[in-house]
Amino acid sequence: MLRLYNTLTREEEPFAPARGNVVRLYSCGPTVYARAHIGNFRTFVCLDVLRRTLRHIGGFDVRQAVNYTDVDDKTIAGAEQAGVPLRDYTEPWIRAFRDDAAALGIETPEETPRATDEPNLRAMSEMILALERHGHTYRRAGSIYFRISTFPQYGRLARLDREGMQDGARVDVDEYSKDDPRDFVLWKAARPGEPSWDYGTGPGRPGWHIECSAMALRLLGDPPIDIHAGGIDLIFPHHENEIAQSEGATKRDFARFWVHVEHLFVEGEKMSKSVGNVYTLAEIAARGHRPSALRYLLLSSHYRKQLNFTWVGMDQAEEALRRIVDCLARLDDVGGAPASASRRTTDVVTRAQQQFRDAIEADLNTAAALAAVFDLVRDVNAAIDAGEVSPAEAAAVRQAIEDFDRVLGVVSLRQTEDARPPVPVEEIERLMQERQAARQRRDFAAADRIRRDLADRGVLLEDNPGGTRWKTK
């Protein structure tokens, strides 16, 4: 049975959806004021594995919402600096995020709401008015604030010390100190030059925290939803405030499970623009690495452990993926083998399947799951070398790896990339024919030159008894 670590209880707990077979999952999406970086994508890749696990291991249906925060302090400042309307400013960043997510093999969620969609703004206003009716708010200069003293459970997710809470001290900005819990803004009064709406709360715009609460319940239905997820940096204040708003408005628990992904470091340092180590997917590609290798690296450590991104680690991820793909290619060349000889391979596959499932069901332990894949690849390569793999066993190995990859999503991504090589397939095949002709006339210098030229362009030629095949770096 699948077990997930619940930040709310600080324990691993068996997971199943509360109602029927549908998991209602909300993941905090990007704030679209710039291109998402690899630290952001660690969270989104790990939560993609959660989604895939729920479907392919748990056997559940999934209804997932991932929002775009397209109105907050940062997006407004960016639009103002660019001199364009807010939607014109955020739209290119949304497209960039979608492109990068697709390149990383992240499945498209069922709902991708924007905070500035009218139904969502109306839902935010309705939630604020419900909070007002229940005595959780006060107004100052046209803005509406949540009074934390009216919600005794405030701080339980982040394990805050209630004695240190500054009731009555207001905070207007969307992001604030993790050590400074205060009454927070729900609705900001209209300011000159800023976008403004009024659906019953007075002219203004929502604070960041109310956006996710309202969108989650509007799109996923009555609380509690099954899982609320995001990066560990969102525990406070964002998720703490979401709980206060949602439960204060509905008088019901907001979410049953809270899942948080740890930080990504770069070469041992916290990511920082001032240090110059904040990388986007495009910058990773410019260094010669493919998205599949980045996805592999981001899954190489448990999601609740800090992960250190290094360029050496990216090289190792590239090599690891090549080993898996090369093993699959070797399976295509498997000939006949005695039925008795294939028993060893059958046992290896069965063991790997159990190890993989055990790892994933233990709170998405992708590091252990990848280890199970590589144990299988090692043992299968040895069995192929010994001539102990029959065509039927080769098919079973291939099926096992495909099943593993429905959860991990790295092999199919690499194969999709390989299908779009840096050199047109027709040109590769023509050069391979020219190389073969050169070898037949014993012009080995010309044959080696063709091989080197293709390698320089990202295509490797590999000779084996069955002929020559090509693969991308």
Q: What is the full DSSP assignment across 202-260?
A: -SEEE-HHHHHHHHHHHHH-SSPEEEEEEEGGGIIIIIHHHHHHHHHHHSS-SEEEEEE
Split at pLDDT 50, 70, 90, the class of 372 is very high
Is the N-terminal amide bond of 113 cis, ω within 30° of 0? Answer: no
Whole-number Å distance between alpha carbons of 259 and 7: 6
Q: Which two tokens stand for residue 378?
A: 């090692």
Ranges of each domain in the chain: 3-261, 269-418, 425-472
For tokens 């390698």, name the residue: 455
> Is the pLDDT reported for residue 166 higher than 70?
no
- Topology adopted by domain 269-418: Isoleucyl-tRNA Synthetase; Domain 1 (1.10.730)
For tokens 């991308």, name the residue: 472
CB 65 within 8 A of CB 219: yes
Q: Which two tokens stand for residue 405?
A: 């990859």
Whole-number Å distance between alpha carbons of 264 and 156: 25
Whole-number Å distance between alpha carbons of 1 and 11: 15
> Is the pLDDT reported for residue 339 higher than 60?
no
Q: What is the CATH number of domain 3-261?
A: 3.40.50.620
Instruction: Give me the mean pLDDT over the 210-216 stretch.
Output: 98
pLDDT in tens, 170-200: 888 887 766 678 899 999 999 998 999 999 9
Cβ-in-10-Å burial (0-12, 13-18, 19+) of 90 comes to buried
User: Which SS3 state, helix, strand or coil, does residue 442 take?
Assistant: coil
225-231 vs 22-27, strand pairing mode: parallel
Other C-beta atoms lying within 10 Å of the C-beta of residue 463? 11
Q: What is the structure's pLDDT at 81?
A: 96
Burial code (b: 16+ CB inside 10 Å, e: under 16) for 415-425 equals eebbeebeeee
Q: What is the structure's pLDDT at 462?
A: 84
Q: What is the structure's pLDDT at 466?
A: 65
pLDDT in tens, 105-122: 999 999 999 999 999 999
> Is the pLDDT reported for residue 429 higher than 80?
yes
